[in-house]
Structure 1
Amino acid sequence: MNINTLNALPWQDAMRWFSQTCAAEKWASMMTDKRPYCDVANIQNHGKAVWETMEKDDLLQAFAAHPMIGDINSLRSKYASTRALAAGEQSGTADADEATLYALKEKNEAYLARHGFIFIICASGLPATTMLEALENRLNNSTEAELKNAAAEQIKITCLRISKAINS
């Protein structure tokens, strides 16, 4: 995809494209409406500004589109439409030992039970041990703090996906 093609797409197709970078429907709709864009940085800057206007339900909708960190079955099956853009985002878990993967699974389940949504981290380039450490550090935060933390991580992920999708 290039910028000119994105700008020229019919609304529904552009909406689908933006939804692959972030699953919050309101965000994707607003990003589609803000076209045309001049470059990747312009899309990312608008994306960040629009993301700041999202409400809790929008955040949760975006978070729900992610597989749990380290959940291999979920990585393979959940939201196949984002598979191409999400490829490699959790590659740090590929070489993790069984103990680390088990700890990620256990801590993720505890995080979900505590906060009501999965742990979100921009995992690109991070080893599994770093993801686990971040999960352990954030597990006992308040849910309000974690909504903010997860939202900050989500927009990092979204910006990476935009860059990857435009430059591919």
Structure 2
Amino acid sequence: MSSLKINNLNEAQAHQALEHCCAAPSWVSGMLNIRPFKNQQHLFESAQSVWNCLGESDYLAAFEGHPQIGDLSTLSKKYAATAQKAGHEQSGMSKANEAVLTKMIALNKEYLNKFGFIFIVCASGKTAVQMLELIEQRIHNTRSTELSIAAGEQAKITKIRLESLL
């Protein structure tokens, strides 16, 4: 077996580490059932495979583990497990001007009202303006299209967070 850090954790520690990567309980359980992982590739493939078997309620549970993009004040107790990661991932928003932030917050509210879940985007490496452009484009999607896109974005976020475990 490989020396992946995740394999050396006890069950409770592994659960917590995985939950920091993705808040969906079914995903965490699925990953714990597969552990130990042979190598990094097996870890990533398992993460995607488990994610692909999940449904809407699992996606929504995962989305609940995120603050809204641009609403840096929501990095509070509710998001304590992922706050540091999310804050770093959203670092592009911290450099946004007030007009961009104001528009982003308004669109976040509109998006949440329309779809019933927050706007999910893999924010790493994106500027505030790029994220604003994405929400402006995606807000016109149907709910099913948007749920599918958001699930794909969540999978990218999860992979980045798994990489930090290595």
**TM-score bucket (shorter structure):** over 0.9
Q: How many residues align?
A: 165
Q: TM-score, normalised by structure 2?
A: 0.93
The match for 2:147 is: 147
2:47 is paired with a residue whose SS is helix
Q: Deviations over 1:113-144 (max 9, x none)?
A: 00000000000010000000000000011110
Q: Deviations over 1:41-69 (max 9, x none)?
A: 22111100110001110000000110000
Which structure 2 residues correspond to residues 1-168 of structure 1 after superposition, within 5 A?
3-166=3-166
Please, which runs of 5 or more residues in structure 1 have no aligned partner? none
Amino acid in structure 2 at the alignment position of 1:33: N
Contact 1:121–1:150 (8 Å) recurs in 2: yes
Q: What is the RMSD of the two structures over their aligned residues, measured on CA atoms? A: 1.5
Aligned-pair identity in percent equals: 39
Please, which runs of 5 or more residues in structure 2 have no aligned partner? none
CA distance in 1, matches of 2:42, 2:36: 10
Q: TM-score, normalised by structure 1?
A: 0.92
CA distance in 2, matches of 1:26, 1:48: 13
CA distance in 2, matches of 1:33, 1:130: 38
Deviation at 1:13, TM superposition (A): 2.1
